[in-house]
Amino acid sequence: MFGKLDWSAIPFDQPIPLIAAAAIGVILAAVLGWITVKGHWPYLWNEWITSVDHKRIGVMYVMLGVVMLVRGFSDVMLMRTHQAAAFGASQGYLPPEHYNQIFSAHGTIMIFFGSMPFIIGLMNFVVPLQLGVRDVAFPTLNSVSFWLTASGALLTNVSLVIGEFARTGWLPYAPLSETSYSPGVGVDYYLWALQIAGVGTLMSGVNLVTTILKMRAPGMGYLRMPMFCWTALGSNMLIVAAFPILTATLAMLTLDRYLGFHFFTNEAGGNPMMFMNLIWAWGHPEVYILVLPAFGIFSEVFSTFSSKPLFGYRSMVLATLFIVVVSFTVWLHHFFTMGAGGDVNAFFGISTSVIAVGTGVKVFNWLFTMYGGRVRFDTPMLWALAFVLYFVVGGMTGVLLAVPPADFLLHNSMFLVAHFHNVIVGGVIFGAMAGYEYWFPKAFGFRLDEGWGKLAFWLTVVGTVVVFGAFYIVGLEGMTRRLQHIDNLAWYDWIMVALAGTLLIAGGVLAQIMQLVVSIRHRDRLRDETGDPWDGRSLEWITPSPPPVFNFPVLPDVHGEEAYWEIKQRAIEQQQLSEVPDYQPIEMPRNSPTGVITAFFCTFVGFALIWHIWWLAALGLVGAYVTFVVFAWRDEVEFEIPAEEVERIDRARRESRQVILERGAPA
Amino acid sequence: MPVAMRSRFSRSGMRVCLAAGMVLVLSACSGGIMDPAGPVAAGERTIMLDALAIMLAIVLPTMAATVAFAWWYRAGNKRATYRPDFVHSGRIELIVWSIPLLTIMFLGGVIWVGSHRLDPARPLESRVRPLEVQVVSLDWKWLFIYPQQGVASVNRLIIPAGVPVHFELTSASVLNTFFVHQLGSQIYTMNGMRSQLNLQADRPGRYYGQSAHFSGDGFSDMNFWTMAVPVGQFNNWAAAARGNGPVLSAANYRQFARQSQGVKPFTFRAVQPGLFDAVVRQQLPPAPGPETGRGGHTMTSPGDAH
């Protein structure tokens, strides 16, 4: 009846996951109870859960990302405290079968369910606004994408209490991940959670590529798009090209595990090395899927807070596309130590360092954006500056690892761990934080508290320097990664330093949460009345904060690279707003529960397949398919917002715009 | 006046930071990969430091320029000129693309030469005939077979100092890397595959060896000491090893290949000829994993093979 599932799946012998799960359960029940008592369910269902508005979906993506980043950080606390207590005779408090799950879950969650939703959420929210359009190309598909990602995140977290998570690292290298060496359900959780979330990501990629290629405001040619839209285009093209590789690779491993195939097994002609090749053929582009949008965010931030257009815009576009192409030719640098020979290693070493040319160009262009500017040190700009200082170091150690003879010493060491955290935290997470601080007022209509934001910034930046500085050094001392027990006492001091740094980051996380709480409490004082709190330059700042569901009452006419800046300067020069347009009724897509219902069924499909509950899997598949058919046969697709309503909303916006006119004469 | 004071402060601050940095790096030396004990590790360290120096030559000025530009062009600085139209410059673009490009071309040369000169499969230049060692990684211990001496050692690698060692490596089960960081080059061990590695210890000593690739529950303690000893002492050790210990036959190997942890070092007095090749060709099948994991069945804890 329930396949492999029985009471032994619950880890009664391990108090940590049980207590953690109980705490999460209590919090969850409290939140749900509060929503029920307050009667918020209709609002949540109509305005958020079934919403197909790209802004709402973007915000939900970011919320998922934030929650999962905190979840991934709790793994960090476990790992750091455990390693600090696992030297020599002391064994720490986590047995290998638990510790190995934690570092695997940490990587999986941070990449797939923390960083990815955060970055995709920002793209979802910002790209249509910057392009001057009303929604993405396929609004309902967008909702399906989000809920499938959430479904994958849910399955990953369910593994905490029901069964186990993968104990193989965040990329389940064969043959360790094959049934012979990992007979438990951990790898199956990994496979199905990622397959389901991966489908969502792929559809989101298709959606945003289509949006950027086919739906731009009149006059917005490719070379007038804001830099963030360009990097979003690059990132989503990479998603479309790379995620099918992941899907296929995981499907092959699934066939090995479920139906006794031999793609990656030791026996019967399987080839475990093929798994490494395939997973990194996806995995390396994935790094750029994450970091390219972050580059876009920094480009926006540098330009806005330097009160200057982005320096070398065309050069930046070229560098972005250069990175997109070259990112597919470097995957072998993840296993120089496989012994492929001098020619192969040299080729991939050189192609890897060539990527640094594109990144280097970007760094110099950001520098010259500040040159001759008026730099304001608001929190987003602080993150951007820290990013540059951080990323050049991470990039440098990356190129160092791309030199095969150096990699022979540093591969899989803590130096490598320091390197990729240096670029992913310094690039993606700092970028996400900059974007969060920068666009928060746009999304919610009030700014975030600067004091708490700056405190969070300094704690996090100093903390990460301490942690990853210690990792670099202990890596040079020869310490390797993923150690559940450490018998080399020479490494003790640096692991303690890293623990201290982790506490600083924990302080940063708390300050970041406090910032949100304090800002919500003082939202009236922090209210963004104008819709343009940072003196912005691209089209999202022409809308009120938060923007109405249709974004723009009439689609803006674009005449240059900085669409909004030019409109704003013209208005300031003439001391009057543009003419009142002729308002027309606007058709917007209807809300649809398709996404959440599909994901509901897919969660059961995933869970059932993990536990071999075949009838439930079949039932779930039928459910998901029926949901799709019902959606496909819908009659009413859109609803109309009458012209008067549009006019009313826009009149309020125009009144608030007067403030900007009076704010100052043109420079 | 305040400006001058500030710059003096920042200069002395920088000196303190640099000094602190040097102390950190130097303290990281002893016993680590910056403390090589053989020609391979030394060559790799040299390449690493060369590449680092080449890159620091641009990275440090870039970092300094970032801070300098941001500070000088701060909104409150009345003396900085605001140039909102400075958005493109052919000359700067040329420099911006050339600097990274030239650096990477230079580095590309280093990579090409280094990858070939320090290819793990390349024999070391030496007048001495290399010692042959066959390495099998098992869950979770190391087996070192000495075909010329006809003995094998578990979880301890004994090599003669000053003599090149040619390793052939494979895995009984999952991936591992063989890594003695003071000797240099780590390399994967893979079931059904034969990797090649050439190393040498220049001076007698005790060097930390480990698997640097995660391989399951017993991975953390999959360490071994590498003892580099004078040639005479090595010969004595081999002779003594032939005198006692069990025989590594195919049957014993199958038993030995089952999952176990914390195996104390010991030696086999004889090794069935061709055993290593039999592992590589899978005539001896891949070693088994655990009986089962969590998920509907009872857990078995590995480590009961011995």
Cβ–Cβ pairs < 8 A, chains A and B:
345
The domain defined by A7-527 folds into: Cytochrome C Oxidase; Chain A (1.20.210)
- Quick: pLDDT tens for A237-271: 999 999 999 999 999 999 999 998 999 999 888 89
Record: contact A473-B218, CB cut-off 8 A: no
Candidates A167, A465, A480, partner chain B, best to mutate (most B CBs within 10 A): A480
Mean pLDDT over B256-271 rounds to 90
Distance CA A106, CA A421 (A): 12
Candidates B101, B106, B111, partner chain A, best to mutate (most A CBs within 10 A): B111
Q: Are B71 and B13 found together in one domain? A: yes
pLDDT at B24: 52
Record: contact A477-B88, CB cut-off 8 A: no
Residues linked to residue B211 through DSSP beta bridges, in sequence order: B178
Q: Are B135 and B275 found together in one domain? A: yes
Per the structure block, which two tokens stand in for A266?
A: 């030791």
Q: Are B165 and B99 found together in one domain? A: no
What's the number of domains chain B is made of? Answer: 2
Which of B52, B214, B217 comes nearest A169 by C-beta?
Answer: B214
User: Which chain B residues touch A5 with a CB distance below 8 Å?
Assistant: 296
Candidates A348, A408, A480, partner chain B, best to mutate (most B CBs within 10 A): A408
Q: Are B180 and B231 found together in one domain? A: yes
User: Which chain A residues touch B299 with a CB distance below 8 Å?
Assistant: 97
Q: Distance (Å) from the C-alpha of residue A343 to the closest C-alpha of chain B?
A: 7
- Quick: pLDDT tens for A392-427: 999 999 999 999 999 999 999 999 999 999 999 999
* Residue numbers of the domain that contains B8: 2-75+90-117
Per the structure block, which two tokens stand in for B55?
A: 């890159």
Sign of torsion over alpha carbons B160, B161, B164, B169:
positive
Task: Compute how many other C-beta atoms are within 10 angstroms of the C-beta atom of residue B105.
Answer: 13
A169: left (phi over 0), alpha (psi -120 to 50) or beta: left
Q: Are B44 and B170 found together in one domain? A: no
Answer yes or no: is B206 within a domain: yes
ipTM over 0.90: no
pLDDT at A11: 79
Record: contact B121-A267, CB cut-off 8 A: no
Distance CA B283, CA B170 (A): 13
Which of B187, B218, B220 comes nearest A337 by C-beta?
Answer: B187
Answer yes or no: is B220 within a domain: yes
- Quick: pLDDT tens for B3-51: 444 444 444 545 555 555 555 554 445 678 888 999 999 999 999 998 8
Which of B24, B75, B289 comes nearest A473 by C-beta?
Answer: B24
Residue in B closest to A2 by C-alpha: B296
Which residues, including other chains, have CB under 8 Å from residue A60's CB and lie 6 or more apart? Answer: A48, A121, A146, A150
Provide the whole-model pTM. 0.90
Residue B34's domain is classified under what CATH number? Answer: 1.10.287
- Quick: pLDDT tens for B46-94: 999 988 988 898 899 999 999 999 999 998 888 888 888 888 888 888 9
Q: Are B101 and B217 found together in one domain? A: no
Answer yes or no: is B290 within a domain: no
Answer yes or no: is B39 within a domain: yes
Map out the domains of chain A as residue ranges.
Answer: 7-527, 532-590+639-666, 592-634
Which residues, including other chains, have CB under 8 Å from residue B248's CB and lie 6 or more apart? Answer: B143, B145, B152, B256, B268, B270, B271, B272, B275
Helices (H) and strands (E) in chain B, counts: 6, 13
Per the structure block, which two tokens stand in for B80?
A: 């900085």
Record: contact A312-B88, CB cut-off 8 A: yes
pLDDT at B80: 85
Record: contact A409-B293, CB cut-off 8 A: no
User: Which chain A residues touch B302 with a CB distance below 8 Å?
Assistant: none
Record: contact A388-B181, CB cut-off 8 A: no
Is residue B268 exposed (0-12), middle (13-18) or buried (19+ Cβ within 10 Å)?
buried
Q: Are B106 and B209 found together in one domain? A: no
Q: Are B143 and B270 found together in one domain? A: yes
- Quick: pLDDT tens for A342-393: 899 999 999 998 998 889 899 999 999 999 999 999 999 999 999 999 999 9
User: Which chain B residues touch A8 with a CB distance below 8 Å?
Assistant: 294, 296-298
pLDDT at B180: 93
Q: Are B98 and B160 found together in one domain? A: no
Q: Are B108 and B174 found together in one domain? A: no
Q: Are B28 and B141 found together in one domain? A: no
Tell how strand B266-268 and strand B151-154 pair up.
antiparallel
pLDDT at A665: 46
Interhelix angle A492-521/A54-84, nearest 10 degrees: 150
